[in-house]
Chain A
Amino acid sequence: MLLEVSELSIAYANDTIVKNMNLSLEEGEVVAIVGESGSGKTTVIRAILGCLPHGGHITGGEMFFEGKNLLENTVEDWRKLCGRKAAMVFQDSGSMLDPIKRIGSQFIEYICEHSSLTKSEAAKAAEEMLNKMHLPHTENLMKSYPFELSGGMRQRIGIAMAMFFKPRLLLADEPTSALDVTTQAQVVTEMLEICRRDQTAIILVTHNIGVAAYMSEKLIVMRSGSIVEAGKTDEIITNPQSQYTKELLEAVPEIGGKRYAF
């Protein structure tokens, strides 16, 4: 078992946002958490990386990653875990980068933080990684600032950075929601491809049940901080039990009498 979350509860100040969350993940498995905004799905994955926003804290439950209790982590333990064994991709990876520093310098800073590579070795490795993500003109990309790139490019760079150290777990927070449909499909395919190659497990958070159905093996449907339904993706899609899941499924656009994942 790679990750085991049991009975996890999270609160901001005194408001409980997530109640008794359960989740388990094997190596290389893809789990999707779907639900409307405010359902607490982002909060769950933030908690797994120890990056809850100001005022957020865990009020109950347990989290085990590779058999280690995450709730006993020190600041240094978290730092070593984040970006190395577990990485995160955001809705807009560009805004998760310092706006006034070049992408290259931030990529190099990240690589050097978790390895003993020199700066020039790190620069070379970073470029190779961008190449692997099918990004063109990697040398120019390294010299660019985040604001100069398109959403799709920024997202690919975010994935390239997150996957650099071949993490065991990738937490993807609405990774395609800010992209147009064509780019969404490309980014999703690329992300899946690279994760399958490195045997990286994914927790995908999305409000788009179509994307979730396409990518995941297991599905968790959340509403107001609680699990509404959980199980194998195929089973839930074909035979949803709860009314809420049915509503979500009905919200997927229909083309020619058929519902498509994309």
Chain B
Amino acid sequence: MKKKEIMHRVIQLMITLVGVTFLTFCLTYLSPGDPVEMLLEVGDTIVSQETIAETRAQLGLDKPFHVQYIRWITGIAHGDMGLSYSAKMPVADRLWQCLPGTLSLAVSAIIIMLLISVPCGIISAVYRNHKIDYFIRGLSFLGISMPSFWVGLILLYIFGLKLGLFPIAGGVVSLDRIVLPAVTLAIAMSAKYTRQVRTAVLEELGQDYVVGARTRGIPMRKILWHHVLPNACLPLITLLGLSIGWLLGGVAVIEMVFSWPGLGKMAVHAIEMRDYPLVQGFVLWIALLYMGINLLVDISYTYLDPRLKKGGVQ
């Protein structure tokens, strides 16, 4: 992708962003319940009508729709996403608080997943229809079939409760607490990715350039590492980008099972509490995230595949 095309993409992103923010804003505006009351209510306290009116004016919620939207979007441009009713703090701070949990979980899950699925996928492809291939495919089928919350509970039961190797209660981000949720996520993802890697490598092994390299007497090991794998990576990068987006958006089920302080758990809580500003902030984060990752994936292709950089045929 040339610089001009990247600029085009960034402009496209801005337009999408306006659309996303508009829809997210509508979500709050159309939602039932009065945000001011929700913000002021703590326990059974009764708030006077004057205070409500005052706060409403303060927050600008008495203004018409378009004024509110412009205020909200200007706020976002300045990093102000409003106040979270449930956390009683700015939305940006609340998201920022949950980010380390999600980020560390995402990174460790991706690393474990790659460590499992890349070697397994390659072995499975190279020894296609051998015993080891059937074995790996069997495991991957098993991995795909098991729901991850169930795997999480089983891991907690075995390694947390019975063997006592890892703490059961989460709540804080720490090295020993991250192992079980990361492994749980990695199991489900590895099962999927092992198959993807296998398919991609098999596809490349069938290409003419592999025959070409063999007739030039290049050893199979070198063909695999220097030619087949770099080519097989290309289709996998898009998938990996989507997975990273999915993980960074918070994986609610896993975070709930392990009471892991991440964005997914926060989002579920925010929805339960009807904390619309926080839900808005969360949706905006996901949108930004996917757009950013897609852009990065597209840019990375131009570096990894010369056919795209030089504008040749695909």
Which residues of A line the B interface, CB within 8 A? 49, 51, 53-54, 75, 78-84, 87-88, 90, 92-93, 95-101, 109-110, 113-114, 145, 147-148, 161
Instruction: Give the 8 A-B residue pairs with the shortest CB-CB distance, closest first.
Output: A96-B212, A83-B217, A83-B216, A82-B217, A88-B215, A147-B312, A98-B227, A95-B208
Cβ of A75: which chain B residues have Cβ within 8 Å of it? 220
With A100-B306, A100-B307 already in contact, the answer to whether A79 and B209 are too (CB < 8 A) is no
Total inter-chain residue pairs, C-beta < 8 Å = 81
Contact of B209 among A88, A97, A109, A110 (CB under 8 A): A97
With A96-B209, A98-B231 already in contact, the answer to whether A87 and B216 are too (CB < 8 A) is yes
Cβ of A147: which chain B residues have Cβ within 8 Å of it? 306-307, 312-313
A79→B222 CA distance, assembly (Å): 12
Q: Mark B211-253, 1 if CB is under 8 A from A, else 0.
A: 1111111111010001100110010000000000000000000
Q: Which residue of A lies closest to B220 (CB)?
A: A75
Whether A145 contacts B217 by the Cβ 8 Å rule is: no
Q: Which residue of B lies closest to A45 (CB)?
A: B215
Whether A110 contacts B218 by the Cβ 8 Å rule is: yes
Which residues of B line the A interface, CB within 8 A? 206, 208-209, 211-220, 222, 226-227, 230-231, 234, 304-307, 310, 312-313
Q: Which residue of A lies closest to B211 (CB)?
A: A51
Cβ of B209: which chain A residues have Cβ within 8 Å of it? 95-99
Smallest CB–CB gap between A164 and chain B, Å? 9
Cβ of B227: which chain A residues have Cβ within 8 Å of it? 98, 101
A113→B223 CA distance, assembly (Å): 12
Cβ of B211: which chain A residues have Cβ within 8 Å of it? 51, 53, 96
Cβ of A93: which chain B residues have Cβ within 8 Å of it? 212
Whether A51 contacts B307 by the Cβ 8 Å rule is: no
Name the prevailing secondary structure of the B interface residues.
Answer: helix
With A81-B217, A98-B231, A100-B231 already in contact, the answer to whether A145 and B307 are too (CB < 8 A) is yes
Cβ of B212: which chain A residues have Cβ within 8 Å of it? 90, 93, 95-97
Contact of B216 among A54, A92, A161 (CB under 8 A): A161
Interface hub of B208, B212, B213, B312 (most chain A Cβ within 10 A): B212
A99→B215 CA distance, assembly (Å): 17
A114→B226 CA distance, assembly (Å): 17
Smallest CB–CB gap between B247 and chain A, Å? 28
Whether B215 contacts A109 by the Cβ 8 Å rule is: no
Interface hub of B217, B227, B234 (most chain A Cβ within 10 A): B217
Whether A82 contacts B306 by the Cβ 8 Å rule is: no
A53→B313 CA distance, assembly (Å): 27
Q: Which residue of B lies closest to A165 (CB)?
A: B217
Cβ of B312: which chain A residues have Cβ within 8 Å of it? 145, 147-148
Cβ of A114: which chain B residues have Cβ within 8 Å of it? 217
A53→B210 CA distance, assembly (Å): 11
Cβ of A110: which chain B residues have Cβ within 8 Å of it? 216-218
Contact of B310 among A82, A109, A148, A161 (CB under 8 A): A148
Q: Which residue of B lies closest to A50 (CB)?
A: B214
Cβ of B305: which chain A residues have Cβ within 8 Å of it? 100
Whether A113 contacts B218 by the Cβ 8 Å rule is: yes
- The 13 sampled A-B contact pairs (Cβ below 8 Å) are A51-B211, A51-B215, A81-B217, A83-B218, A98-B226, A99-B209, A99-B231, A101-B227, A109-B218, A110-B217, A113-B219, A114-B217, A147-B307
Smallest CB–CB gap between A111 and chain B, Å? 10
Cβ of A80: which chain B residues have Cβ within 8 Å of it? 217
Smallest CB–CB gap between A89 and chain B, Å? 9
A95→B209 CA distance, assembly (Å): 6
